[in-house]
Structure 1
C-alpha cells in the first residue's frame, strides 16, 4: 500500500546565474532579481512540496582556482540565499525555505536574532542548512583553517549557543497584558553567558520567543562526525547514497543510531534522499536517452570536465583525455568525496581521464535502478519501493527555474497524487508541522 512521502526541492547550484549554459536562458529571467525564484516557489507550493533548500558556498575558492569556478558559472558567482528567503516567503503561504548557512560567517547572537526574525516574519517556515565548509575561513578572519572534525565542533557550539539565546525567554516572560500595560516580565528572562572554545557572547536575546517552535535544522554530513552532528541536531538529513534496499536501510540505521546516542528519537529526523530525475514521455524515449549517453563525444566530456574542475578546484580541461590523472594532482584541501565521485571504482593510476568523465556522462534507467531516467510512472514505482524500505521522503535536485520545475513535475505530480504518495496540500502550521504531519 502506498504511503505519503515528504518532498523537497534542492537548489543544488545555489543562488547563482540560473539558465547560464542552457537554452532556457532565452526566457529572459534575470537571476539577480527575485521574480524568477518567486515564480518557481509558487509552483513548488502548488505541487505540494514542503520546502526548497538552497545550496551555498560563500567562497569562490582558493586564489589560484577562482577562474575555474567563474569561467562557466559552475561554482560562482553566488548571492546570499538567506537574503533571498524573505522574497520566497512573500510569494508563498506554506512553503518552507531552507537557506544554507555557515557558522564561520555569523556570530551566534547576530545569527540567533536574524533567524528568529525570519522565523516570525515567515509564519514559522524557516529552516537552516548548517554546513561546515572550511575553505571559506579566510574570508571571516585571520584564524587558521579548522580541521574537518573541529569545524563540526565549532558548528555544534554555535548551534547550542543560538538555541540557548532562543530559549532565554522563560515561560511566562511574554505577558502582553493590555489591561495592565505589561508587555513582558523581565524577571523571567534567563541570563546567558557563553564562554566557549570558539565563541563568547552574552544574552538574553532581544527577540520574542517562538510560538510554534524554532527553525528547522538540516544538515548534509556523511562522515562519522557529520552523522553525529545530524543525530544531535538535525530535523532534516540530506542523504546521498545508492538507492538499494541494503544501502537505504543501512544509511537510515546510522542516522537513527546517532540520534539515539544523543538522547533523541529516530522519528525526530526526516531522512530525505537527493535524486535528480529525468522524466520522459515513454519507456522508449528513456531507452534512447540512456543509449545516447553511453558514448559521449569530446564536446560533452569537456563540459563535464569544466563542471568537475569547479568542484575539484583543479583544471581538468588542460589534461590529456587519454592519459591517467597525474599523481598528486589534487591539493590537500580538495574534498575527498568530490575526488571519489570523479574516480569511482576505477584505478586512478591506470584509468584515463576519458574513462572517468564518460562514467559521469552515462545515464541509467529508473526501471532497472541503474539511474534516474524514466517515465513518471516508473519514478513513482521507485518512490513506492523506497517507502516500503521505511524511507521518509525525497529531495528532487535541479535549478529553481520555472522551466526545470515544469519539465520535472508536470507529469509526475498527478501520478504521485493518484498513488497517494504526494500530499494535496501543505500544513498551515509552519515547516516543522509539515515535517511531523505523518
Structure 2
C-alpha cells in the first residue's frame, strides 16, 4: 500500500496544457507561456483543489531541430518564462500550495541553485521544491558546451545534489538571533562549514542566508533509466515517472523502493507519482469528445517531429508511416522514455503513424478517460495496489482541463476518503508527509 493514508496530487504545468495541439484550442490562450497572469490563474485552481504542489517543467533551450514542426507547436519550450522568476509571482499570489520547478545539474552551479531555491522557500514560508534533471535535450548543450554522455550527467547530478544539501545546512537552525540590544546578528558558532572539494566542484560556503523553513526544500527526480532510478533512490523525495499500465507502474514502484535501503533511506522518505494524462467529463461521451477535439487539431508535421524528439532526435522522415518502428540506435538523451516507447510499439505492434498519434497526446504517460467516477476508480486502483503514492496530473488543455479535474474528480476522491479536504500544514513537507531533515552539527 502507499506510504501515507491519502494520495498526493500535483499538477504538471506546460502553459497551454500537455496535449501537443492544446494551444490551438479556442479556450486556451495562445500566449500562455509568457503570461504570468495565466500561470497565477492555473496555480490558484490547483490550490483550490488542495493539490500538494504545482510543477513547472523547464529547458534551457528549445526541444527539437525541425523548425517546421516547432513552428506549429507550443510545448517544446519555444516561448516560456524562466521558472524561478515566475515563482516569485506565484509565491505572492498563493498561500498554501507547493511551488516546484526544474533545475539542470548539467548547466548550473550548486551555489546558485541552492540560493535560488532557498530564497523561494523563505518567501513562501516553506513551500518550495526543485526537480533535479541532467538535461537530456541536446539543444541545451549548444547554449553551453558539448552534451556529456548519459552516465557522466548522472554522476554529476548525484554530486550536485550532495553539494546543494550541504549548502542548505550552512547554518544551524536559530543561528540568526538578530539581537538588537546585544548587537548580535548571528551566532558565529552557528556556522556549519562546507568546504566541499572534488574534481567537479569546489564550494566553500556558507550559503548567504539562514537555513530555510523546510530545512531542505523538497527534491523531485524523474529519471527512469538505471542511472535515473539510482539518483532517485539516493536523492529524490518525490519521484515523477511515466508508466502507461498498472503492471509497469507496479514494477517501477517496487524496483525504486527496493533501492532505498542501500542509501540508508526509509520507505517513508519517498513519494512515487506517475504522470496521468487524463480526459474527464460529466459523462464518458463528453470526455471522449474533449479528446477527439484536441486530436483533430494535431498537425501531422508536429506529430512526427515530436515522436522523433522523444526517441532521441532520430530522423524518421525516410520510413513509411504505416510500417513498423525501425531499429533505432541507443539514445544519449532520455533513455527511460526511449525504452518505454520502443517497448510500447513492439508490444502493441504499432505502426509509426499509430505510435506518433499516441505520443502526440500522452508522450507515453497513462491516459484514463471517462466520467469522474471512472477516473477516480482507476486512480484508486493504482493507489491501492502498490503502483503509486499519488499522481502528477497532466491536464490536456489549460485552464479548463485542470478545472475539470478539480471540480469533478477531486470531490469524488474526497468522498472516498482518498484525498484531503483541506491542507494539514503550512509547508510542502507537511502536505507530502515528509519529515524535516536535521541539519549538520558544527564541529
| 1:374 correspondence with 2:370 | yes
**What is the rounded CA distance, in whole Å, between the counterparts of 2:57 and 2:272 in structure 1?**
17
Taking the TM superposition and a 5 Å limit, the aligned residue runs for 1:13-28 are: 20-25=23-28
**What is the rounded CA distance, in whole Å, between the counterparts of 2:44 and 2:214 in structure 1?**
23
Alignment partner for residue 159 of structure 1, among 158, 161, 170? 161
**What is the rounded CA distance, in whole Å, between the counterparts of 1:409 and 1:24 in structure 2?**
18
Alignment partner for residue 204 of structure 1, among 203, 206, 211? 206
The answer (yes or no) to whether the contact 2:62–2:140 under 8 Å persists in 1 is: no
83 and 120 in structure 1: CA distance in 2 versus 1, 3 angstrom threshold: same
Deviation at 1:247, TM superposition (A): 3.5
Taking the TM superposition and a 5 Å limit, the aligned residue runs for 1:320-331 are: 320-323=320-323
The more displaced of 268-277 and 426-435 is: 426-435
The answer (yes or no) to whether the contact 2:68–2:301 under 8 Å persists in 1 is: no
**What is the rounded CA distance, in whole Å, between the counterparts of 1:301 and 1:198 in structure 2?**
44
Q: Which whole-Å deviations, capped at 9, do the CAs of 1:301-360 have from their partners, x for residues lacking one?
A: 5553243244443565675423555666x7854544444455445469x97533433555
| 1:383 correspondence with 2:379 | yes
Deviation at 1:201, TM superposition (A): 2.1
Residue 304 of structure 2 aligns with which residue?
305
**What is the rounded CA distance, in whole Å, between the counterparts of 1:83 and 1:202 in structure 2?**
26
23 and 161 in structure 1: CA distance in 2 versus 1, 3 angstrom threshold: same
The answer (yes or no) to whether the contact 1:54–1:81 under 8 Å persists in 2 is: yes
The more displaced of 276-285 and 52-61 is: 276-285
Residue 250 of structure 2 aligns with which residue?
249
The answer (yes or no) to whether the contact 1:52–1:95 under 8 Å persists in 2 is: yes
The answer (yes or no) to whether the contact 2:171–2:206 under 8 Å persists in 1 is: yes
Residue 32 of structure 1 aligns with which residue?
34
Alignment partner for residue 393 of structure 2, among 369, 392, 396? 396
Residue 119 of structure 2 aligns with which residue?
117
**What is the rounded CA distance, in whole Å, between the counterparts of 1:386 and 1:324 in structure 2?**
31
Taking the TM superposition and a 5 Å limit, the aligned residue runs for 1:300-379 are: 303-312=302-311, 313-314=313-314, 316=316, 320-323=320-323, 332-346=331-345, 352-357=351-356, 360=359, 371-379=367-375
**What is the rounded CA distance, in whole Å, between the counterparts of 1:82 and 1:298 in structure 2?**
32
The answer (yes or no) to whether the contact 2:17–2:394 under 8 Å persists in 1 is: no
Deviation at 1:13, TM superposition (A): 6.4
Residue 367 of structure 1 aligns with which residue?
none
Residue 235 of structure 1 aligns with which residue?
237
**What is the rounded CA distance, in whole Å, between the counterparts of 1:184 and 1:297 in structure 2?**
62
Residue 434 of structure 1 aligns with which residue?
431
| 1:138 correspondence with 2:137 | no
14 and 331 in structure 1: CA distance in 2 versus 1, 3 angstrom threshold: farther
The TM-score normalised by the length of structure 1 is: 0.84
Deviation at 1:5, TM superposition (A): 1.1
The TM-score normalised by the length of structure 2 is: 0.83
Greater radius of gyration (CA): 1
Deviation at 1:208, TM superposition (A): 1.1
9 and 400 in structure 1: CA distance in 2 versus 1, 3 angstrom threshold: farther
165 and 274 in structure 1: CA distance in 2 versus 1, 3 angstrom threshold: same
Deviation at 1:151, TM superposition (A): 0.8
The answer (yes or no) to whether the contact 1:239–1:272 under 8 Å persists in 2 is: yes
Deviation at 1:33, TM superposition (A): 2.0
**What is the rounded CA distance, in whole Å, between the counterparts of 1:333 and 1:46 in structure 2?**
40
The more displaced of 158-167 and 1-10 is: 1-10
Alignment partner for residue 109 of structure 2, among 84, 107, 110? 107
Deviation at 1:274, TM superposition (A): 1.0
The more displaced of 161-170 and 128-137 is: 128-137
Q: Which whole-Å deviations, capped at 9, do the CAs of 1:374-427 have from their partners, x for residues lacking one?
A: 110111112222232243111111268322222333221221221212211123
The more displaced of 304-313 and 52-61 is: 304-313
- Which sections of structure 2, spanning at least 5 residues, go unmatched? 436-443
Deviation at 1:125, TM superposition (A): 0.5
**What is the rounded CA distance, in whole Å, between the counterparts of 2:428 and 2:397 in structure 1?**
19
**What is the rounded CA distance, in whole Å, between the counterparts of 1:302 and 1:176 in structure 2?**
61
Aligned-partner SS, 1:176: coil
109 and 22 in structure 1: CA distance in 2 versus 1, 3 angstrom threshold: same
**What is the rounded CA distance, in whole Å, between the counterparts of 1:332 and 1:242 in structure 2?**
20
Alignment partner for residue 98 of structure 1, among 100, 105, 119? 100
Q: Which whole-Å deviations, capped at 9, do the CAs of 1:94-126 have from their partners, x for residues lacking one?
A: 010110010123211222222211110111111
172 and 9 in structure 1: CA distance in 2 versus 1, 3 angstrom threshold: closer
Q: Which whole-Å deviations, capped at 9, do the CAs of 1:57-94 have from their partners, x for residues lacking one?
A: 212257x5455434423313133112211111111100
